Structure 1
Amino acid sequence: MTAALRRLWRSVGFRLAFYYGLLVAITMLAALAIVYMQTVGVLQQRMVRQVAASMQQLMVRYDARGADGVAGEIANALSDGRNSDNEIYLLTDREGRKLAGNLDQMPSQAPDAGDGVHRRVVRTGQTVIAYLVMRPLADGGLLVVGHDLRDQESIESLVASASAAAGIVAVLLLIGGTFVFRQELERSVGAVRRTAARIAEGELQERVEPSGEEDEFALLEHDINAMLDRIQSLMDGVRHVSNTIAHNLRTPLTRVLVRLHAVEAGLDAGDPQREAVSTAIRELEELAVVFEKLLQIAEVEAGARRQQFAPVALHVIADDVAELYEAVAELRGIALLREPADMAVALGDRDLLAGAAANLLDNALKYAGTGATVRIGTHTVDGRAQLFVQDDGPGIPQAEHERIGVRFHRLDRSVPGHGLGLASVLAVVALHGGRLDFADAKPGLRACIDLPMADG
C-alpha cells in the first residue's frame, strides 16, 4: 500500500489536485470557523448576560421579599412566553425541597463559587445540557438560574455537518482534479515525452508538435525544438565530416594499396625494402577496414536499409554464425556451444543482424581467453525476440558498461581491434528499434540483442 501511495504521489497531477482540494477544504473550514465563532460566540455572550441579569434580579427580589418573592418571580418568568423554552430556574429550601422552577431535580454537582458551569440536568422530563449559575441563599436554600444549550448544540451540529460536507467536496475535488489535471498535463507534456522517446530510439528528425496555445508549455515546446535543431545540426556536422573523410580517403587509399602491392611484387624475396612495404600494406589495410566500418555505421544510422526489412529467423542466424566461428574458437582453445534452439523471428535486415551477431561472438572469442566457454542462443521473452552471446571470461567492470559501444573505445588495447565493432552493433540494433543489453554473467559477460518480434 505504501509503495502504491508513493507511486501515486509521484504524479504531478495528483499532487496538484491534492493541494487544490486541500486549499479548498482549508478555505471552507476557515469560513465555517468564522461563522461558528461569530454565531455561537454572540449567542454565548448574550446567554451569559441574560443568566447573570436574571440571577441579579432574583437576588434583589430575595433580599426584598425572601424566598416567596423569588418563587413568584420565577413563576412569572416561566409563564410570560418569552424564552420560556430555554430558561431554567430552580429554588430549593435548606432541606433541598423544590419550591419553584422547571428543573425536576437538583443539579448533580455543587455550585462553583457562583461562576457559570455546564451541567447535565433533567428539565420537564428531558435530559439536557444547560449553562447554570448557582447561588446559595441566606436561609440555606439554593437558587439556580440557567439556559438550555440545545440551540447552541444545533448550531454546532450544523457546523459539523457543513465541515463534513466540506471534506467530501475536497475529496471529490481531489478525485476529479486528479483526472482533469492529469489529462491536461498529459495533453501538454505528452507530446514532449513522445518526441523524446522517438528521439531516444534514433529518430533524430522528430520534433514536438506545437500545441497552438500560448502558455508555459508552449514556450517549453519551442525551446525543446530549438535545442533539438541545434543538436541535430551539430551531429549532422560531425557525421558529415566523418563520412566525408571516410569517402574521400578510401579512393586514394585504395590506389596507394594497389601501387604498394605492385612494388611488393617487383621486389625480391630477400630485399630489405620488401618487409617495409609489407608492413605499410598491412597498416593501410587496417586503415581501410576502419574506413569501411565507419561508412557501414553511417549507412545504418541513416536508415537507408530500413525499406528492406523482412521477417528474419534469429535462430538460423545464430546457427550460421556459430558454424562460421567454430574453427576460430577451436584454434583459440575456447568451447563454443550453441544453446538449445528456441525459435525467434524479428523484422529486420538479415545481413545487418548477422553482422551484429558475428561482431558479438567475435568479441566474446577475443576477450574470453583460452579455456573459456562461449554460448550463443536465441529465445523469446514477453513478445520480444532475443539473440544472446555469453562467455565465462573476465567480463567487463560495471563502470565500463556505459562506455560500451562508444566509437574507438577499447577496454583492452592489447587485443587487436579498432573499437568500432560494438558501435556498429548498436547502430544496427537502433535501426531495428531494439536495444543492446549487457549484464554480468558472474563470471563473464552476457550481451543480448533485444528486438520486436515480427507480426504473425
Structure 2
Amino acid sequence: MRKKRRVWRHSAAFRLALAFAGMAMLTMVITLSVFYIRTVVLLEQRTLRQIASTTQQLEARFDQGGRAALVQAIEESLGDGQDSDRELLVLLDAEGRRIAGSTRFADPPASGSDIEEQTLLRSGHPSPGYLTTRKLPDGSRLVVGHDRSEQLQMAELVGDAIKAATFLALLLVVGGTYLFRDLLEQRIGALRKTAAQVAAGQLAERVQPSERDDEFALLEHDINRMLDRIEGLMQGVRHVSDTIAHNLRTPLTRALARLHEAQRAGSDAAALRAASAATIRELEQLNTVFHKLLQIAEAEAGAQRQQFTPQSLQAIAADVVELYAAVAEDQGCTLRLLGDDPAQVLGDRDLLASAIANLVDNALKYSAQTPDARVEVAVRARDDSVEITVCDNGPGVPAAALARLGQRFFRLDERLPGTGLGLASVGAIAQLHGASLTFEDAAPGLRARLKLPAG
C-alpha cells in the first residue's frame, strides 16, 4: 500500500490530472460563488426598489389629495391581495398614533432616513425586513416596509443547491481525475513497455498503433519510425562490421603472405620489390575502403549540411563528364551530357560531384564490354525538383538484384575491380541532400535516377 502511494505521489500523470481537476473545481467554485452573490444582491435590490417605488407613489397620492387620499391608497394596497402579508404600510400622526395601516414593527426609523433593516412581526412571529419613514407636510409620518423572509429563504435555497452541486461536481472531478490518470498511464505504459523491450535488445518490437487520431497516436507513429530507423542502422552496422571483417581479412592475409614469402632466405631484390608493390596495392585498396566508409558516415551524420549553397547541377554534371571523357574514350564508350537546364539545387558541390562521378564510373565499368557502349547523363528540372539520370546500354542488372543496389559492399560482379561502396556513398549523399536515388531497368542497361529538391 505504501509503495502504491509513493507511485501515485510521484506520478506525472496523476499530478497532471490532479492539477486539471483543481483548476476545474476552482473555476466551478468561483462561478457558483459569483452566481450566488449576484442572486442574493438581485433579490435584495428588488426589495429595496419595491420599497422606494411604493414610498414615492404614496407620497405622490398625499401631494395630490392630502391625508384622505393617502389613507385610501394604503387601504387599497393592503387589500388588493398582492404581497399583503409581506408588505408593511402605516400612517402615524405626529404623536405616533396609527391613522391607517397596521403596525408590525418595534420602533420605526427616524423620519427621512434611508431604508434600514429591522425586525417585523409576521403572523405574530419576528421576521427580518426593511423599513423607511417619511415625514409628511402635515406632521404625520408614513412608514413603508417589506418582509425579507422569503428573500432569505430563496437565498438559502440557492446556497443549498450550490453546495449540493459543488459536492456532486467534486465527486465527478475526483472520479474523473482517477479515470484520466489511468487512461494516461495506459497510453504511457505501452510506450514504456516497448522502450524496455527495445532496451533489452528486442529491436523488432513496436508500439501498438492506436485507433484514435490524437497526439498520442502521432507520438506512437514517430516512435515507431524512430525504432525502424534504429533497427535499420543496427542491422547496417552488423552487416558492415561483418563485411569489413571479411574485406579486410582477405587483403591483409594476402599482404602478409607476400611479405612472409619475401622474408624467406634466398629472396632476391626483384622478389622483394614485387612483394612490396603488391602489398602497397592492397593497402591502397584498404585506404580507399576506409575513405569511402568515412565519407558515407559523414554524409549520414549530416556533418556538411551547414556548407550547403546554391549549385548548378548542370555545371557539376558537365565537369564530371569532362573528367571521365578520356576514360570513356579509352574504353571505346560514348559519354554524352544531355540537356542544358540552369536549375539550381541547394547542396555541397564536392559531394554532388562525387555522387555523379560514382554513377558515371559505375556505368562505364559495367558497359565496358558492350559493343557500341553508350553512357548518357541528363539533367532535367521538374516542378519542385531537379533530376539527373545516368543511363547505360550495358548488360543491366537482374530484377532480383535491383533492390540491393546501394547496399554497402554489394557487388554485382566480383570479377570487376571496386569496393562495393560507390553506390552506397551515392545513397548517403542523396539522403544528406533530402534527395531520392532509384535504379531502373533501361532495357538494355541500367538507369540511375537522382532526384533533388530545387533550390
Task: Report the TM-score, using the length of structure 1 for normalisation.
Answer: 0.46
Larger Rg, first or second structure (1 or 2): 2
Task: Report the TM-score, using the length of structure 2 for normalisation.
Answer: 0.46
